[in-house]
């Protein structure tokens, strides 16, 4: 490698010291030129960084890159030099090149860590979070990963933007919430009917995507206000058996999309007193490709710490739903309570109840619903996976339900039992994301047989470890 005269004068003293200390061989080709081996140049550049001479280190790195543009060490030296010169954007690009050309896990780890630091110094915490996730794949041990998780949480708190994404693929024997039995029977009425094929349970695959983008518009140590946009999509792919059962049914008949804009304000009430939150949202939904509903909602949440490891969440919400077209509006009120606590063995147990009341000029929309669910998460992996189990039930009463002109005696009543097993496979991670598997079963009994359903499904998804 050759060094031109522009940096020769500044480099002579440093080279002399390095030669004296290391016994390295440096050749002077002309009065204005020095030649050294690549390894010597890297060592001299590192010495320049230690001595606080980043400009000289950067020139040495550029010289190395002229010889070999894929020299990962030279890119790394250049990134550190730019960092010392307070040029973090250029440094981040150099660190990205060092990561690209790295040939060992440790080199990948060091360069991605440097890129994350430089992204943060460039006031780009979101990009720093991305580089920390890339570091995760090359972390040398669990201690390093614990540090990564801690740093990621700090960046998440600093970053005004947040992104949450959930995707799942769910093979199911009832993608349309269809009836279990082909016969249409109403308890207390003498007639019997036959349900159409698409009103009965159809098997297939259900795919869902749930994307939320948020921005913190203000915040302090004890309060914050955030705006969010959420897009939820549900799509279905019918099986061959379902197509044979309901030949006129199309996948698009069961497509559901919902978009919501919301605002939330949260504030801490002081040490040991929990937090209070306010929410407001507007949403629009589509069903089978057509406009379905508009809705506006207001909510209030209260988090109350009860004792060490135990807390109570109380949430209430009111919502007004306007069906597309000229259908009657729905007014909903909901109250939720959830008690959570850590068990003596380190597991996590929660129990929740929800009361949901809906009023409307539409007799078939008026209802009262009570549901409860209990969840337990094991403290340690069971075999290859983290394991949690949920069991619950619900009772829904429609007091004025009509079938055509006939009122259902005593109103329609649905009783449901459901349960799920969730498994998260931490050993199969990539960039801190791991696969998840959910087994879900549900059965509903009703005095109107159209609503007697059962479902068994398996959901495959991806979740974050931190």
Range name among 62-66, 90-94, 329-333, 334-338 with the lowest pLDDT average: 62-66
Residue 466 pLDDT level (bands cut at 50, 70, 90): confident
Average pLDDT value for the chain: 90
Q: What is the CATH number of the domain that holds 40?
A: 1.25.40.10
pLDDT of residue 183: 87
Q: Are residues 200 and 320 in the same domain?
A: yes
Q: Are residues 152 and 180 in the same domain?
A: no
Whether the predicted pLDDT of 417 surpasses 70? yes
Q: Are residues 256 and 213 in the same domain?
A: yes
Q: Which residues pair with 214 in a beta bridge?
A: 162, 228
d(CA 332, CA 258): 18
User: 212-215 long-range contacts, Cβ below 8 Å, gap at least 24?
Assistant: 212/162, 212/163, 212/164, 212/165, 213/161, 213/162, 213/163, 214/161, 214/162, 214/163, 214/164, 215/160, 215/161, 215/162
Domain closes at, from 133, 157, 181: 157
Q: Are residues 174 and 311 in the same domain?
A: yes
Task: Determine the average pLDDT of the residues in 367-380.
Answer: 97
Domain closes at, from 157, 184, 208: 157
Q: Are residues 205 and 73 in the same domain?
A: no
Which residue in 366, 368, 357, 351 sits closest to 334, CA to CA?
Answer: 357
Q: Are residues 326 and 349 in the same domain?
A: yes
Whether the predicted pLDDT of 19 surpasses 80? no
pLDDT of residue 430: 87
Question: Which CA distances in Å does 68 have to 11, 74, 75, 107, 345?
Answer: 22, 9, 10, 17, 57
> Please, what is the end-to-end C-alpha distance for the chain in angstroms?
45
Q: Are residues 107 and 24 in the same domain?
A: yes
Q: Are residues 101 and 248 in the same domain?
A: no
Residue 344, domain extent: 160-464
Range name among 8-12, 113-117, 344-348, 430-434 with the lowest pLDDT average: 8-12
Residue 21 pLDDT level (bands cut at 50, 70, 90): very low
pLDDT of residue 188: 80
Whether the predicted pLDDT of 155 surpasses 70? yes
Whether the predicted pLDDT of 38 surpasses 90? no
pLDDT of residue 39: 85
Q: Are residues 179 and 312 in the same domain?
A: yes
pLDDT of residue 34: 60
Question: Which CA distances in Å does 373 have to 98, 142, 200, 265, 315?
Answer: 50, 35, 27, 27, 16
Task: Determine the average pLDDT of the residues in 443-447.
Answer: 95
Q: Are residues 76 and 177 in the same domain?
A: no
Edge-first strand order for the sheet with 2-3 is 2-3, 33-35, 27-30
Question: The whole model's pTM is what?
Answer: 0.85
Residue 354 pLDDT level (bands cut at 50, 70, 90): very high
Task: Determine the average pLDDT of the residues in 175-184.
Answer: 91
Quick: pLDDT tens for 71-130: 999 999 999 999 999 999 999 999 999 999 999 999 999 999 999 999 999 999 999 999
Contact (Cβ atoms closer than 8 angstroms) between residue 314 and residue 304: yes
pLDDT of residue 309: 85
Q: What is the CATH number of the domain that holds 336?
A: 2.40.160
Q: Are residues 120 and 169 in the same domain?
A: no
Residue 271 pLDDT level (bands cut at 50, 70, 90): confident
Whether the predicted pLDDT of 13 surpasses 70? no
Domain closes at, from 157, 179, 214: 157
Length of the chain: 466
pLDDT of residue 189: 78
Which residue in 274, 250, 255, 277 sits closest to 266, CA to CA?
Answer: 277
Domain count, the chain: 2
Quote the tokens at residue 3.
């060094």
Q: Are residues 146 and 195 in the same domain?
A: no
């Amino acid at each position: 490698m050759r060094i031109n005269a522009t940096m020769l004068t500044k480099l002579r003293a440093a080279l002399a010291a390095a030669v004296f200390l290391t016994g390295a061989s440096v050749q002077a080709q002309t009065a204005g030129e020095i030649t050294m081996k690549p390894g010597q140049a890297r060592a001299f550049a590192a010495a320049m960084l230690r001595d606080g001479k980043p400009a000289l280190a950067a020139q040495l790195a550029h010289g190395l890159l002229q010889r070999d543009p894929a020299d990962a060490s030279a890119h790394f030296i250049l990134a550190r030099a730019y960092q010392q010169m307070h040029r973090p954007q250029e440094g981040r690009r150099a660190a990205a090149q060092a990561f690209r050309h790295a040939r060992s896990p440790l080199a990948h780890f060091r360069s991605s860590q440097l890129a994350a630091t430089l992204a943060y110094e460039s006031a780009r915490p979101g990009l720093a979070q991305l580089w920390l996730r890339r570091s995760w794949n090359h972390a040398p041990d669990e201690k390093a990963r614990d540090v990564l998780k801690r740093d990621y949480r700090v960046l998440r708190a600093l970053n005004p933007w947040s992104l949450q994404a959930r995707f799942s693929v769910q093979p199911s024997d009832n993608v349309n919430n269809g009836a279990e039995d082909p016969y249409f029977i109403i308890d207390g009425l003498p007639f019997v009917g036959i349900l159409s094929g698409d009103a009965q349970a159809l098997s297939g695959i259900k795919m869902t995507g749930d994307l939320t983008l948020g921005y913190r518009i203000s915040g302090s140590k004890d309060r914050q206000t955030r705006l969010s946009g959420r897009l939820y999509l549900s799509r279905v792919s019918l099986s061959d058996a379902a197509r044979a059962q309901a030949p006129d049914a199309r996948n698009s008949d069961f497509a559901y999309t919902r978009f919501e804009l919301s605002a939330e304000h949260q504030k801490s009430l002081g040490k040991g007193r929990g937090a209070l939150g306010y929410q407001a949202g507007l949403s629009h939904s589509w069903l089978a490709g057509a406009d379905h509903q508009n809705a506006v909602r207001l909510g209030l949440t209260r988090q109350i710490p009860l004792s060490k490891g135990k807390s109570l969440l109380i949430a209430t919400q009111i919502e007004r739903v306007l069906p597309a077209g000229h259908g009657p509006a729905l007014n909903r009120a909901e109250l939720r309570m959830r008690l959570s606590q850590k068990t003596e063995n380190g597991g996590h147990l929660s129990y929740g109840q929800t009361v949901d009341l809906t009023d409307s000029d539409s007799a078939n929309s008026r209802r009262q619903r009570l549901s409860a669910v209990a969840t337990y998460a094991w403290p340690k992996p069971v075999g290859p996976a983290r394991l949690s189990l949920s069991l619950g039930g619900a009772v829904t009463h429609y007091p004025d339900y009509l079938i055509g002109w006939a009122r259902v005696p005593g109103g329609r009543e649905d009783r449901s039992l459901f349960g799920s097993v969730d498994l998260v496979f931490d050993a199969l991670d990539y960039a801190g994301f791991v696969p998840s598997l959910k087994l879900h079963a549900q059965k509903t009994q009703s005095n109107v047989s159209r609503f007697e359903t059962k479902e068994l499904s398996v959901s495959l998804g991806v979740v974050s470890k931190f």
